[in-house]
Chain A
Amino acid sequence: MLKIENLHASVAGKEILKGINLTIGAGEIHAIMGPNGSGKSTLSNVIAGRDGYEVTQGTVTYKGHDLLAMEPEERAWEGVFLAFQYPVEIPGVNNTYLLKAGVNAARRHRGEQELDAMEFMQLVREKAKLVELDQSFLSRGVNEGFSGGEKKRNEIFQMAVLEPSLALLDETDSGLDIDALRIVAKGVNTLRAADRSIIMITHYQRLLDYIEPDVVHVLADGKILKTGDKSLALELEERGYDWVRAEEAAA
């Protein structure tokens, strides 16, 4: 699904990603953990195609295509989805209208028939139910006046509607109370599928109790320092990151 090789990227002339290697197979869930400022959001922004990041070395291959050559919207049409760490508010742009435009742009791209208003509303209602998002949020401006937790839930709702092949969840669990976390996790688990891969960036092992990852990576100082299974997350929670760095330095 996704293959990242020796990825170096800088922001404003400063190197943030210093040689990332990561391979994610179809249907897999990978968790990425790491200290603040280590480059986790930078990695997800580079994958989603945000401006302002300069890739100086390396490649990102998605479904066999050169992902870095694609515009952000083309990536979206091809099934890449980023749930933002800090979703922006866009007053005046209707949540549902945005999604309809997004869904139909992707369908056009794939040569499929666009959904009409009725079909779309049906889809949206069903997905809103899945993440227990109140119907009133559908007609509001994108994230306009949403609480932190509501914004995160809206991201998962959008993911459910857009049905991506590769979803990057950047700290979607941060700022969620325990009920909201359970709901979001349920949404993600429902979307688990053999042809859908998920990258979850998180600081908290508790998310992984709800969504079980296949692989856990530690990203620190712009590099993947360690890769393991679920137990690695538990160990990180107990011991912090310093021992990983020490291990790396020794190696």
Chain B
Amino acid sequence: MSASLQQIRHAAWQAFEAAGLPTTRDEDWKYTDLSRMQALLGDQWWQLPAADAAVDAASFAIPGLDAYRLLFVNGHFDAAASNLPAAIRVTSLATLIQDEPAKAMELIANQPDALLNSSIVAANSALATDGACICVPENTKLDKPLYILYVNSGGTTHLRTGIDIGKQASVEVIEHFAGSDVSTGVTTAVTAIRLRDGAHIEHSRLQMEAAKQCHLGRVEVNQQRDSSYTLHATELGGIISRADVVSRLQEPGASCNLNGLFVATNRQHMDHHTRIDHNAPHCISRENYRAVLDGRSHGVFNGKIVVAKGAVKTDSAQQNANLLLSPHAEIDTKPELEIYNDDVKCAHGVTVGQLDKNQLFYLKSRGLSGDEAKQMLTFAFADEILARMGNQSVRRFVEKEAFAKLPNITDLEEMLG
């Protein structure tokens, strides 16, 4: 390891030690109490071992998905079970650290301010052992999606993934976090994406951790001229989960499209913070997040949009809709717009509600039972987000996993038709 990579790791560790975990006094963490995570996992939460049990990775994989594969088991790349494309360069971070420390350093140091704004990212920077490093050369369109499956058997894993997409190149990446329920732990996962001129990525991020696992994720996207970023974020698993998505529209013509769905039941806590920085003129952002909350679950959505002074002709729209299926479920939702010029179009809207009585009656009057009617409306509400997925295998998989969590789902296969 080169001295400079070591130095960065060391500095990150010091930053983490100095800051400690964020507390609810921190505005950004007001509704997500990590002391609960600490109580669950103990002081050594950042280095818990995984359970000593074999993980059947294949059992977690999306069925019927035609894709290149990268498998990580308990934070380590499993080359034998992976299937890498020839057309683009894909390596594991561990290999990169060994063979090309300068490149590895670039990935880990990629976000100088993030070190300071989140001690979790600092811990990840200091401790990340592995992750995927993907470089898509200019003018390349990968023929199949890249499917990155991270499975764990509890314990702590720190994953760091970097995706660099060259000019006019395009790729679909699916990041899927899953695990078995044998032990508790936490996954920290930082994914840094760079989109060069005219580049495009469709990025699905499926958080389907086991029931006792915590998940702290961050996606950082830097976008150059005319690039486009599409995210499908789904949160289904884990006991406490938080995801921060930051998209920086740095040059004219860049656009981002963030879609999110969380389905929370029992005592699950799910927090999504998004931030879109309009730093250049003529950029477009679209954001659509929905939550279905049952049981005593708690959802948090914070959508921040910052339009910089020179970012004229910004076109931004944000929608957040929340469906509460139980009187004990809770949502804290807050759009945050900071606009520093007049020549912009920024629309936003938030709804929180129960199922619509008129719609329920209509369905019942056509012969559906009360339970079926509720199920159908809940499905329709959530599927509005999933319908935006371009990849039908991924969509079907998420639909099944999402609706299997809800009561009264009897003939899901039939409903999905």
Contact = CB atoms under 8 A, between A and B. Distances in A.
Given A91-B380, A92-B380, A73 B367 contact: yes
Nearest to B417: A97
A141 B384 CA distance: 11
Contacts of A11: none
B376 interface: yes
Interface stretch (A45-53, A127-135, A200-208): A45-53
A82 B366 CA distance: 9
Pick from B358, B362, B379 the residue with the most CB of A within 10 Å. B362
B363 A90 contact: yes
Contact of B363 (A51, A71, A75, A98): A98
Contacts of A102: 366-368
Nearest to B362: A88
Interface in A88-116: 88, 90-94, 97-99, 101-103, 105-106
Contacts of A48: 365
Given A51-B357, A93-B377, A98-B376, A158 B362 contact: no
B415 interface: yes
Contacts of B381: 92
A71 B380 contact: no
A50 B417 CA distance: 30
B370 interface: yes
A98 B366 contact: yes
Contacts of A97: 415, 417
B397 interface: no
Interface string B347-369: 00000000011110111111111
Contacts of A51: 357, 361
Contacts of A94: 417
A84 interface: yes
B181 interface: no
A88 B359 contact: yes
Given A90-B359, A90-B377, A73 B415 contact: no
Q: How many A residues are at the interface, by size bracket?
A: 20 to 34
A39 interface: no
B231 to A, nearest CB: 21
A44 to B, nearest CB: 10
A55 to B, nearest CB: 16
A72 interface: yes
A48 B366 CA distance: 10
B33 interface: no
Contact of A88 (B358, B367, B417): B358
Given A49-B365, A50-B361, A51-B361, A101 B377 contact: no
Contacts of B372: 101, 105
Given A97-B415, A105-B369, A71 B377 contact: no
A247 B107 CA distance: 89
Contacts of B380: 90-93, 141
Contacts of B175: none
A77 interface: yes
A71 B384 CA distance: 30
B383 A92 contact: yes
Interface in A50-86: 50-51, 71-73, 75-77, 81-82, 84
B417 A103 contact: no
B359 A105 contact: no
A162 interface: yes
B210 to A, nearest CB: 30
Contacts of B415: 97
A141 to B, nearest CB: 8
A103 B368 CA distance: 9
B415 to A, nearest CB: 7
A175 interface: no
Contacts of B383: 92
Contacts of A82: 365
Contacts of A240: none
A37 interface: no
A93 B365 contact: no
A71 B370 CA distance: 9
A87 interface: yes
B256 to A, nearest CB: 24
Pick from A75, A92, A99, A106 the residue with the most CB of B within 10 Å. A92
B384 A73 contact: no
B359 A73 contact: no
A36 to B, nearest CB: 20
Interface in A178-223: none
A73 B376 contact: no
A32 B361 CA distance: 23
A106 B365 CA distance: 11
B363 A162 contact: no
Interface string B370-393: 101100110111011001000000
Given A51-B361, A105-B368, 13 more contacts: A49-B365, A50-B361, A72-B365, A73-B368, A73-B369, A75-B365, A81-B365, A88-B356, A97-B415, A101-B367, A101-B372, A105-B367, A141-B380
27 contacts: A48-B365, A49-B364, A50-B365, A51-B357, A51-B361, A71-B364, A73-B367, A73-B369, A73-B373, A76-B366, A81-B365, A84-B362, A84-B365, A88-B358, A88-B359, A90-B363, A90-B377, A91-B380, A92-B383, A93-B363, A93-B376, A93-B377, A94-B417, A98-B366, A101-B376, A102-B367, A105-B367
Interface of A: 48-51, 71-73, 75-77, 81-82, 84, 87-88, 90-94, 97-99, 101-103, 105-106, 141-142, 158, 162
Interface of B: 356-359, 361-370, 372-373, 376-377, 379-381, 383-384, 387, 415, 417
In the A-B complex, list the 3 residue pairs whose CB atoms are closest, starting with the nearest: A92-B380, A102-B367, A76-B367
